[in-house]
Chains A and B, each alone.
Chain A
Amino acid sequence: MSSGSLPKPNRARRELLLALAALGAGVGAARADPRLLPPEQAFRFSARALDERTLEARFAVEDGYYLYRDKMAFFLDPKAADVAALTLPAGKVKEDPFFGKVETYRGEVVVKVPLAASVGGRSIVLVADSQGCADAGVCYPAYRQKVTLAVPAAGQGPGPLVDAFPRKKKWFN
């Protein structure tokens, strides 16, 4: 292992690069399986206020993942208002040998969340509970996500869509 032919600064740099490359290989391999997303990325939650007493909750379910319809729940915390009768959209029906008829969601799920009282002009926190699985053969425990919404005053238009976990900016797109 002779490096006598290289001038000193270059040699030091080469050694450093070698060590870094080796470390990079090790660390790179140690990263978690990129095929399995954390629940907040597999089931991206976002919401907006449609008017002073109606919210709209959305789940963007990644390809290869699904949510259970009967495990979905919404409430405000702190409880600025009760969630009124909720009508969840119909899901895809699967016959489960243990639970019988089970409905699941894939792709984009949009749920209207009516409130029992007006929250116009207030800042509220909408909490969404959901539970889903990956086709790869794993299920996630019930998962809670939250968004803070500035609800427009009565008579004003819908508020902007707010992501619970904003997508990270990527370098190349």
Chain B
Amino acid sequence: MTTSTLRWTLVAVVAVIALAGGIYFGQERATPPKVGPAQPAAAAAIANLALPDPQGKEQRLDQWRGKVLVVNFWATWCAPCREEMPEFMKAQKEFGDKGLQFVGIAVDQADKVQQYVTEIGLNYPALIGGFGAMELSKTLGNELMALPFTVVLDRNGSVAYTQLGVLKPDKLASLIKSLL
């Protein structure tokens, strides 16, 4: 290999990596607002997460291993979060026995979460997450640690999709269709 060939190979490799990155992130950006790439380590961290439910009982997220898991970071004080939850409840009802599981991680106080869960009759678990849960969402691309933020894990526990802001019903439907 001559020096010139070597140099061009290097240029080509850098270009391909950069382009791939550009295309990858470009696609991610097509779903506004954009979030960054999902980290496999963060996916593992989600699986290993154990958070209290509003009654204070610790719930491990790996109890739903093997299912398509939709982890939704939300809060009662977040109006857009509350707007999308009825859609999640509908999907949970329709596809729950086919292996779809929603889990809400509320960045909120347990009593407020319990009150809201009762009020709307939430049909999937709501766990209480503190700052640590938000930090975890940050490693999954939620750099602003804003809400709602939703992570969809496939049956193998890999991150299939992340969404900052409301997860649109048609996007949710297509994710369910492709992952279940």
Interface residues of A (CB under 8 A from B): 1, 3, 11-12, 15, 18-19, 22-30, 32-33, 35-36, 38-39, 68, 71, 96-99, 131, 133-134, 136-141
Nearest chain A CB to B159 CB, angstrom units: 17
12 A-B residue pairs with Cβ-Cβ distance under 8 Å, sorted by A, are A1-B8, A3-B8, A22-B14, A24-B18, A26-B20, A96-B79, A98-B76, A98-B116, A133-B78, A133-B80, A140-B146, A141-B107
Cross-chain contact B147 with A30 (CB below 8 angstroms): no
Give B5-43 as 1s and 0s: 1 = Cβ < 8 Å from A's Cβ atoms: 001101110110111111101100100111110000000
Q: Contacts A22-B15, A36-B144 given; indicate if A28 touches B82 (C-beta within 8 A).
A: no
Chain B 56-80 interface 0/1 with A at a Cβ cutoff of 8 Å (1 = within):
0000000000000000000111111
Q: Please, which residue of chain A has its CB at the minimum distance from the CB of B108?
A: A141
Cα separation A11 to B83 with both chains bound (whole Å): 57
Query: Interface residues, chain B, CB within 8 Å of chain A?
Result: 4, 7-8, 10-12, 14-15, 17-23, 25-26, 29, 32-36, 75-83, 107, 116, 119, 134, 143-148, 164-166
Q: Is the interface of A mostly helix, strand, loop or mixed?
A: mixed
Q: Is the CB of B29 within 8 A of A3?
A: no
Interface contact A136-B165, CB-CB below 8 Å: yes
The prevalent SS among residues of B at the interface is helix
Q: Are B14 and A33 in contact (CB under 8 A)?
A: no
B77 touching A131 by the CB < 8 A rule? yes
Contact, CB under 8 Å: A33 / B15:
no
Smallest beta-carbon distance B72→chain A, Å: 13
Give the residues in chain A near B145, CB-CB below 8 Å: 140-141
Tell me if A22 and B18 are in contact (CB < 8 A). Answer: yes
Contact of B79 among A19, A22, A26, A139 (CB under 8 A): A139
A18 in contact with B15 (CB, 8 Å): yes
**Known contacts A22-B18, A29-B21, A137-B80; can you find 12 more A-B pairs with CB under 8 A?**
A3-B4, A19-B15, A23-B18, A26-B25, A29-B23, A98-B116, A133-B78, A138-B146, A138-B148, A139-B79, A140-B147, A141-B145
Determine how close the nearest CB of chain A comes to the CB of B35; give it in whole angstroms.
Answer: 8
Give chain B nearest CB distance to A166 CB in angstroms.
20
Instruction: For residue A144, give the distance in angstroms from its CB to the closest CB of chain B.
Output: 12
Which one of B4, B11, B33, B83 lies within 8 Å of A33 (CB-CB)? B33
Nearest-neighbor residue (CB-CB) of A11 within chain B: B4
Contacts of A96 in B (CB 8 A): 79
Q: Say yes or no: B18 contacts A138, CB within 8 Å.
A: no
Decide: B82 and A98 in contact? CB cutoff 8 A: yes
Write out the residue numbers on chain B whose beta carbons fall within 8 Å of the beta carbon of A12.
7
Q: Are A138 and B165 in contact (CB under 8 A)?
A: yes
| Residues of chain A contacted by B147 (CB below 8 angstroms) | 138-141
User: A25-B18, A139-B78, A141-B134 in contact; A32/B143 too (CB < 8 A)?
Assistant: yes
